[in-house]
Amino acid sequence: MTEASQTACRPFDSGATETGAGEQELTCIQRRLLSEPGNRDALGRAGTLLYEMGRFEEAIAHLERAVSLCQCPLCRTDSRDEDAHHAGKSHPEADNAHYQIFTQLADCYAALNDYQNSENYYHTAVTLLSDRADAYLGLGTLAMRRRQFDRARAFFQTAGDFHPDCSEAYGGLAMVHQHRKEYDKAFDMYLKCLELDTDNLVALLGLFQTSCEMGNFSQIIHYLEIYLKGHPSDTSVLFCLASLYAKEGRFADATEAVAKVLVLEPNKPEAAELLAELKDAEA
């Protein structure tokens, strides 16, 4: 089984919007932009909606247009550096809205595998609000993708230092330890992540992988059971749970779980094979 993947721009970030409502709002904003093409607020909101829909190239176009229309030092490309923000006085534009735009731009570029532009925007966000977690998480994820594991650990650790309840920071540290085959440390970090976010499927996968490496299944069984209470039709997790029950000799529980898988996904061959093996074991 492969190492827990980072499919989102930042690890463990679900972040999607309601598509129907988002599309309706986007349509209204786009009509407004026909008559007010220089409306920064409308451009920024449209960019955010497009980002949440996964339409990253369109999001970049809107968000960068909004940035280009802003005259604050952080948004001007000729002064977008640390000195621009720390020049002896605070700027009213240096607020949550700017931070959100810069991190969303960074996420969009990361999703398009443009790591340099992504890194630049994350660093701009850090310059703006250095005590927020999102940009550090993004930088950590970029470092993981570039296989710069020491840098990744440092960024995830910084996010966790600023926000001890940040589940994504623990998940990122867990992935670094897992890559280094430090399975006991990875196991502990995945547990901390799941204690804060029991629905985190990526952390569940990572905990499953490290549990298999260590031969310790009791903790992962517990968290899979919790996850399935809220997601009873997730056949992938159900099948993992059935397999672990079988490894632990809990054949009745394994049979029940794999039977549920086959009800939901009758043509799943590995589930049928496991059920046959369980029947043989109980014979």
The pLDDT tens digits for 83-130 are: 544 444 455 455 688 899 999 999 999 999 999 999 999 999 999 899
Would you place residue 2 in the very low, low, confident or very high pLDDT band (cuts 50, 70, 90)?
A: very low
Q: Where are the alpha helices (H) located in the chain, listed in sequence order?
A: 19-35, 40-52, 56-68, 82-85, 96-111, 115-128, 134-145, 149-162, 167-179, 183-196, 201-214, 218-230, 235-247, 251-264, 269-282
Give the rounded percent of residues in the chain with a pLDDT score beyond 90. 71
Threshold 0.85, pTM exceeds: no
Q: In this predicted model, what pLDDT tens digit does every residue of 145-200 receive, in sequence order?
A: 999 999 999 999 999 999 999 999 999 999 999 999 999 999 999 999 999 998 99
Domains of the chain, CATH where assigned: 19-231 (1.25.40.10)
Which pair of tokens denotes residue 30? 């786009």
Q: In this predicted structure, what is the pLDDT of residue 61?
A: 95
